[in-house]
Amino acid sequence: MAATQKLACFRLPPLPTIKEIIKLYNLRAEKQLSQNFLLDLRLTDKIVRQAGNLKDAHVCEVGPGPGGLTRSILKAGAADVLVVEKDTRFIPGLQLLSEAAPGKMRIAHGDILTYRLERGFPAHIAQTWEDVPPNLHIIGNLPFSVSTPLIIKWLEQMSNRTGCFMFGRTRLTLTFQKEVAERLTASTGSRQRSRLSVMAQYLCTVKNCFTIPGCAFVPKPNVDVGVVHFTPLAQPQIQQPFKLVERIVKNTFQFRRKHCRRGLEMLFPESRRQELTEELLRSADVDPTLRPTEISISEFRALANAYSKLCEENQGLIDYDFREELKLRHQAKRQLENNRKGLNLHTTAEENVNDYH
């Protein structure tokens, strides 16, 4: 099987070890950037095996750091490896590795949150969405601080088939804090079930591959790390725009321990809240006493479809934000209080004047 094959497709020439690279270039993990180095190449090889067969593949590695995972990707036979690194301190060490694998590795200095990956690979590798995934992979030992916003960004691009998903159903193999990895793969009814679970699973097959103990990293983080593999579905389980689905799921989980009705009613203006919430739940045939963690993907699909219909029938509903309504109410209340204070001051002033008459 691809996941268990040995990485013996390309042999790198003798190179300094990752530990020697760190010492040679005086590299230190920056705490504010959530950097943790993985020095054990047996573990980086194991991460790469989860991606499948990389022979002659195009790969984008996110945040290569000193290059340990990059070595494993090259050894697996990737034909073209684009590494995107934000921290300039790592560039010289990566250049050394690039020289050891001529024509196989490109280095981009940039922030992966804003980097245009679709410009990094040739158009001819693209596949149609319903076809097999393209021979393109995204792999990365992600800094904890960017892992969640990054996967949400990629899920939205997946839904819209933009960015690196312009090439088709690009597969991702990424590391997360163990808790986040568990949330991404949590099943309906489980304690870890969350907004992230639903958003990932309606678009992908998500697999929690294995856990790396924190002690394997330098410096050692306070948590263990999970390796997660994503394969986009040919047909998403919810056929609605990403932002609409996100709104439904976000509102549902904002009152995590309460019945789902409590969160869903915040989709609607206060003047019609009860009426539209009842219509939504009735149309979707969802039990209003379910907890958010108990709602299945098929039930979220029904809710999204019912909400989409309500938005079509009620102009401006799609733009409603209960926080904005709450903010305006507070502003009006403060204005009323200020007016009352002003009136009281004016009355007191008149009384003081009258005292002299």
Pick out the residues of the known binding site for S-adenosyl-L-methionine. Answer: 36, 38, 63, 85, 111, 141
Structural element, H or E, at residue 22: helix 18-24
The phi and psi torsions of 184 (rounded to 5 degrees) equal -60, -35
Please give the annotated binding residues, written as ranges: 36, 38, 63, 85, 111, 141
> Which tokens sit at 297?
């993907």
Those residues whose C-beta lies under 8 Å from the C-beta of residue 142, and which sit 6 or more positions away, are 62, 63, 150, 174, 175, 176
Contact 231, 259 (CB under 8 A): no
* Alpha carbons 71 and 67: distance in angstroms, whole number: 6
Q: Supply the angle between the helices 144-160 and 178-185 in degrees, to the nearest 10.
A: 20
In the block, which residue shows the tokens 């593949």?
57
Which backbone phi and psi does 116 adopt, to 5 degrees? -90, 90
- Quick check: helix, strand or coil at residue 243? helix
Cα of first residue to Cα of last residue in the chain, in angstroms, is: 101
- Residue 3 CA to residue 51 CA, distance in Å, equals 7
Nearest-angstrom CA–CA distance, 237 and 133 = 18
Contact 253, 292 (CB under 8 A): yes
